[in-house]
Amino acid sequence: MKNFFYILLLSFFAVLFSCSQSPSNKDDGQVNGQADSLSDDSLLTLVQQQTFQYFWEGAEETSGLARERIHLDGVYPENDQDVVTIGGGGFGVMNILVGIERGFISRQEGVQRLEQIVNYLEKADRFHGAWPHWLHGPTGKVKPFGQKDNGGDLVETAFMAQSLLCVRQYLANGNEQEQAVAAKADQLWKEIDWNWYRKGNQNVLYWHWSPEYEWEMNFPVTGYNECLIMYVLAAASPTHGVPAAVYHEGWAKSGKIKTDAEQYGHKIILGFNGHEGTVGPMFWAHYSYLGLDPRGLKDEYADYWELNKNQTLIQRQYCIENPKDFKGYGPNAWGLTASYSVNGYAGHSPKEDLGVISPTAALSSYPYTPEYSMQVIRYLYDQLGSKVWGKYGFYDAYSETDNWFPQRYLAIDQGPIPVMIENERSGLLWNLFMSASEVKEGLKKLGFSSSQHSL
């Protein structure tokens, strides 16, 4: 009996000591010591919920939109903590729909925030219906992205329009308040003058226009990058639409967009701008496809599911082969995209590999490679833990080579994570966007077909 009580006492202290050693933080989720208690499904939900908070708790107060960046260290060299981003703000709008569906917030809370956002967007600076890249959050006035980039940004506007159509579809049959928000989202979408951005009816779309500098930015958008959604929406617009020739002659360069290049046994399919013979940063497989469903989506130039999956597999294999021998690369840590870097900001890709892993690259590719992306999530959460995981999910980027783990976030990188994970889990945003009648008509106009959605 004496031995029994002695063993019982030792067991009690062993449990007490074990509990004291397990890290736990109510704000940041649980990492390392508690990680193996989470199933993959629970971990996916945690990643979505924690990242969603960037766009909910972290939103700029006046607009309700996403801040361009959040630095937990409080250091903002450009004094831009109140700048909101239209593209990242659009991703944030989609995150609100994910938040409602996953129960992170109530439907009423989400609708109130969406109402705040559409009312703000209506009053904010616009240029022929297009918003600028950045707005000063408290005033809604343009914040120049560069000296001559102080007007409309059609690409960022397209990312927002993609989200507004999802909001309209989500709330169209709701209560009176919801229908009013849906109507305002519809109005904002229809006021975008895509045709103006042809710069005098050319068969190509231009990225920028400024009332001060007009077309001096001189950036016709051609070839493959993140901008496919802009051409789809421009063709789909019922008010300021563009002819199909703008897509075929401008974006597709009269067919020259195609390539026969392969890498690691995977066809590259389309020529990635500036990345001849290889693929570009991973966000090119994300931004246009937050709403535009690539599953079974084809036109005369590409099978878009194959295009995006192959880009993901090529990037993963590149990081496994790791030709520059960076520390930490491998099957559990891959993915190069535009993000913070050790020395500023960089468009990481196999062509510009600086030893920096950006979690959004693999995480937002979850629909294309769920098992491989889950390996990265597990490695980041279980092994690197609090080095890369914080208040708003995984930090923007890190480098094991340089022992560089900044506690900083960017909206455009956080935004796709919950949305693309949700698209794989439920198809939420894909189904909403593809249900819009204008989207169906626009895709048909450009010669697309879809095995997942009736066009």
For 430-453, the pLDDT digits (tens) are: 999 999 999 999 999 999 999 999
- Name 257's bridge partners: none
Res 6 pLDDT > 50: no
Mean pLDDT of the chain: 93
Res 26 pLDDT > 80: no
pLDDT computed for residue 106 by the predictor = 98
pLDDT (average), residues 289-304: 98
Q: Of 29-43, 76-90, 149-163, which range is least confident?
A: 29-43
Q: Residue 276: how many CB atoms within 10 A of its CB?
A: 11
pLDDT computed for residue 259 by the predictor = 98
> Exposure pattern of 170-182 as b/e (b: 16+ CB <10 Å)?
bbbeeeeebeebb
Token look-up 């794989």 returns 424
Rounded distance, CA 92 to CA 264, Å? Answer: 35
pLDDT computed for residue 96 by the predictor = 99
| Residue 433: both structure tokens together | 């966007």
Rounded distance, CA 429 to CA 289, Å? Answer: 9
In angstroms, how far apart are the furthest CA atoms of the chain?
A: 95
Backbone region of residue 131 per phi and psi (left: phi > 0; alpha: psi in -120 to 50; beta: other values): beta
Q: What is the pTM of this model?
A: 0.93
Rounded distance, CA 164 to CA 367, Å? Answer: 22
For residue 36, name the pLDDT band (cuts at 50, 70, 90).
low
pLDDT computed for residue 34 by the predictor = 45
Q: Which residues contact 243 (CB under 8 A, 6 or more apart)?
A: 203, 235
User: For residues 181 and 167, is the Cβ–Cβ distance under 8 A?
Assistant: yes
User: For residues 234 and 242, is the Cβ–Cβ distance under 8 A?
Assistant: yes
Over the stretch 113-137, which tens digit does the pLDDT of each residue have?
999 999 999 999 999 999 999 999 9
Rounded distance, CA 350 to CA 352, Å? Answer: 6
For residue 37, name the pLDDT band (cuts at 50, 70, 90).
confident
Of residues 13 and 223, more confidently modeled = 223
Rounded distance, CA 442 to CA 455, Å? Answer: 9
Rounded distance, CA 159 to CA 295, Å? Answer: 19
Res 70 pLDDT > 80: yes
pLDDT (average), residues 17-45: 57
Q: Which residues contact 71 (CB under 8 A, 6 or more apart)?
A: 81, 407, 408, 409
Judged by DSSP in three states, 93 sits in: helix
pLDDT computed for residue 165 by the predictor = 99
Res 322 pLDDT > 80: yes
For residue 39, name the pLDDT band (cuts at 50, 70, 90).
very high
pLDDT (average), residues 226-248: 98
pLDDT (average), residues 176-180: 98
Res 299 pLDDT > 80: yes
Q: Of 30-34, 240-244, 297-301, which range is least confident?
A: 30-34
pLDDT (average), residues 71-96: 97
| Residue 116: both structure tokens together | 């705040």
| Residue 80: both structure tokens together | 């831009």
User: For residues 364 and 44, is the Cβ–Cβ distance under 8 A?
Assistant: no
Over the stretch 350-375, which tens digit does the pLDDT of each residue have?
999 999 999 999 999 999 999 999 99
pLDDT (average), residues 240-245: 98
Res 11 pLDDT > 50: no
User: For residues 83 and 143, is the Cβ–Cβ distance under 8 A?
Assistant: yes
